[in-house]
Amino acid sequence: MTERPEDLARKGWMSLLAKAPPARLAALLPDLPETALLRPAEVGSVMVRGRVGGTGAPFNLGEMTVTRCSLRLDCGAVGHAYVQGRDKDHARRAAVVDALMQTPEAARVEAQVLHPLRLEEEARRTTRAVKAAATKVEFFTMVRGEDQ
Amino acid sequence: MYVAVKGGERAIDNAHAWLAEERRGDPSVAELTLPQIREQLKLAVNRVMAEGSLYDPDLAALAIKQARGDLIEAIFLIRAYRTTLPRLGASQPVETAAMAVDRRVSATFKDLPGGQVLGPTFDYTHRLLDFKLAAEGEAPLAPQVPARPEPVPHVTSLLDRDGLIEAAPRDDAPPPDLTREPLELPANRPLRLQAITRGDEGFILSLAYSTQRGYGRTHAFVGELRIGRVLVEMEIPELGFSIEIGEVELTECETVNQFKGSKTEPPQFTRGYGLTFGQTERKAIAMSLVDRALRWQELGEDFTGAPAQDEEFVLSHCDNIQATGFLEHIKLPHYVDFQSELELVRRLRAEAMQMQEAAE
C-alpha cells in the first residue's frame, strides 16, 4: 500500500502517542476539550505476529493489550487512537491529540505535546543503546609463543 | 463422572480468607507493590507474559502477586483474563532484523556486522550468592559508551547470501491460530511455533536437552541470539494505513544445524527458530532446538522415536495450563467415581475369595 504524505505524518504522531507513557501525556495535555465519543475507549488485544526464521511465513506469537478510542471535536475533526496497554485515559487523550492535529491548533499541539514526547522517546532509546554499546566485545588475539 | 455436591461453602470462604492473609504474610513487613514486581522481578514477569501469551507487564506483575509467586498459577490467571478481551486485530509480522538490541551474540561467528553485544546477562557471573543484595544499597549504574547507529543483520542472512543455509523465503499466508481453532495434527510450522512459544519453559527445556543428549540429535549451534525491542505495527481499518501500536521486548534465537543434503538439495545448513516475549533466553534457545527436531520429516531425516521428534507428543503436552488443569483436577472430589471403584474392588475380592475357598 502506498501512503500519502499526509497519512505518513498522521501515522508518525499516532505511532508516537501509542507508545507514550500515559502519565507523561496527561502532564503535557492536562485539559481536554469537549468531545463527542464515536467509540468510547475500549480495551482489547492484538495478536502479535512473527515470521518463521525472521523472514519466512508469519506465525502467531502471542497477544498484547491495546486500547482504542474514536471521538469528534466540536469543530468536526475526528480523532482515532490505538495505544499500548489498558489505560482508557491514554487512549482518549491520544484521540484528542489526533483530532487537534487536524485543526489550526496543530502547531501548538506539536510544540506542546508531540515534540517533547518525540525527544523523550529518542532519549529512552539512546539510554539503552549506550549501555548496550558498553557491553560490546572487543576481541583481541593473544600472541602465541611459537610465533615470536 | 462429575456430580453436583452441596456443602462446604463456609469452609471454602474461610480457606480463601486465610489464603489472602497468607498471601500478605507478616504484616510488619512492607507489602510488595506491582511496580516493584514489574521492575525487580522482571524475568518472572517475562515468563508469565510469554507463557500467558499476553504482553502486558503490569498485568503479569499483578498475576504474580495474586499467585503468591507461583508462576504457573500466574500464567493461568493471565490466560483466563486474555479470554475476556475482544480481539482488535492482528499485527503485521514484527521485523526482528530491525530490533533495537540490548543483547546480540553469535556462537558461530566471532566478527560480524553489528558486533557481539553481551547486554544485561547472567553469563560469566560466578553464580555465587551476592550478600550485598541482602542489604539496601544505592542503585547501581551501568557504564555507557557512545553508540554508533549501525545495522545488525541476522547471522543467517550472511550465510544465506552464499547459499550455505536453507532459505526462509517470505510468505504472507495467514497463519493458523490455536487460540481460535482447536489444535489439529499434523500441524504446520507456524502452528507448532505458536504452541511452543507459549509452552512450558521447563518442558521445552527438557525436550531440547534430550535432543542434545542424542534423542533426535540435530547438532545445533546458536547462530544468533538477540534480545531487544521491536515496534508492533497494525493496519487500522478506519484509516486505511498502518500505525505503530506499541513496542515489545522479544528474544530471538536461530540455530544453525548440520545437514547432509538430499537428492534434491545440495549440502547446506538447516535452521531452527525460537521467538519469545520478553527477555526469556533459555526458552528461546530451547524453542529453536525443539522446532528443528520437529522438522525431521520435511528435511527427509529418520524418525528415531525420540520424544522431541514426535509432534503429537510435544504439542499435546507443552501447555502447562492444560497440563496443570488435568493433573490438579484429580485432587477435587471424585466421590462417586471412587465409590463405584470401591464397589468393584469389593466384588472382585469377594469373588476371588470364593474361588479360593472352593479350590481348597
Tens-binned pLDDT, residue by residue, of chain B (360 aa): 555 667 789 999 999 999 999 999 999 999 999 999 999 999 999 999 999 999 999 999 999 999 999 999 999 999 999 999 999 999 999 999 999 999 999 999 888 889 999 999 999 999 999 998 988 888 899 999 998 888 899 988 888 888 888 888 888 999 999 999 999 999 999 999 999 999 999 999 999 999 999 999 888 999 999 999 999 999 998 899 999 999 999 999 999 998 777 777 788 899 999 999 999 999 999 999 999 999 999 988 899 999 999 999 999 999 999 999 999 999 988 888 888 888 999 999 999 999 999 988
Nearest CA-CA distance, residue A95 and chain B, Å: 13
Picking from A41, A14, A93, A64, the residue whose alpha carbon sits closest to that of residue B239 is A14
In whole angstroms, what is the distance from residue B101 CA to residue A128 CA? 9
Characterize B272-282 residue by residue with b for buried, 16 or more Cβ atoms within 10 angstroms of its Cβ, and e for exposed: bbbbbbbbbbb
Most A CBs within 10 Å, among B75, B241, B268, B287, to test the A interface: B241
**Which chain A residue is nearest to residue B106, measuring alpha carbons?**
A137
Residues in A closer than 8 angstroms to B123, CB to CB, are none
**Which chain B residue is nearest to residue A125, measuring alpha carbons?**
B100
Q: Report CB contact under 8 Å: A18, B246.
A: yes
For cell 588475539, the residue is: A141
Distances (CA, A) of B249 to B15, B101, B106, B173: 38, 9, 19, 25
Q: Report CB contact under 8 Å: B58, A134.
A: no
Residues in B closer than 8 angstroms to A58, CB to CB, are 93, 171-175, 190
Residues in B closer than 8 angstroms to A130, CB to CB, are 144-147
Most A CBs within 10 Å, among B54, B58, B85, to test the A interface: B85
> What is the extent of the structural domain holding A140?
5-147
Q: What is the DSSP letter of A128?
A: H
Q: Report residue B310 as a C-alpha cell.
A: 514426535
**Which chain B residue is nearest to residue A137, measuring alpha carbons?**
B116
Dihedral of the alpha carbons of B55, B57, B58, B63, in degrees to the nearest 10: 80
Q: State the complex-level ipTM.
A: 0.94
The number of folded domains in chain A is 1
